Amino acid sequence: MATRYSANINIAVMTQDSFRLPDSLRDVYGLFIPRIERRSIAAIGIESNKNRDCAPQGQLLNILLSKTASASMMSMTDDAIVQAVTPEAEKYFPGLSTQIATTRIYRWKHAEPYSHVGRAKALLHYRNGRALDQRVLLAGDYMSMPFTEGAAESGKWAAEQICNAALNKAGREGR
């Protein structure tokens, strides 16, 4: 069940209060940037459009880098990452580079598990066979769907297996 993970870098950008979103983005929660159009940025979340309270002044943008850009920038300084990515973000948010109040960089070396062809079949085999006789059950995003909900789902599955095994044992012992 060995699993490889992709890297990810997210840049949280808080703008000055004077920064204004382009009119076309005033009611938009986020942008997905097609591969053919991007260098580094895969998506941009406009967090202040989702929840005004998260940015009482200015705008809060979450810039999600592609896996390739994330892997290549992982060891760069925060300032170098911001300098490398801001010109591309300017295509969608003109004037952004001069309106940044603060940034925070989040690096995840192991952000999301890869799900290769055949993985679902291997997980099914694990859950329906091999795992049922083990004292330790594996759970996490790599044991289900490759995101947070997958981690929760596999944890629930593991807990149910433990409860079922305890009930079966109690039944065999006549309790």
| pTM score, whole prediction | 0.71
3-state secondary structure 32-81: ECCHHHCCCEEEEEEHHHHCHHHCCCCCEEEEEECHHHHHHHCCCCHHHH
125 close to 138: Cβ distance less than 8 angstroms = no
Residue 7 φ then ψ, to 5°: -85, 160
Beta-carbon count within 10 A of 39 CB: 14
At residue 77 the predicted structure's pLDDT band, cuts being 50, 70 and 90, is very high
Domains of the chain: 5-113 (3.90.660.10), 119-172 (no CATH)
Instruction: Decide: 132 and 164 in contact? Cβ < 8 Å.
Output: no
Per cent of the chain over pLDDT 90 is 45
Q: Which of 132, 134, 127, 76 is nearest to 105 (CA)?
A: 76
**pLDDT of 7 strictly over 80:** yes
Say if CB 48 and CB 54 are below 8 A apart.
Answer: yes
Q: What is the pLDDT of residues 87-120, one digit of tens each?
A: 999 999 999 999 999 999 999 988 777 777 888 8
**Which pLDDT does position 39 carry in this prediction?**
93
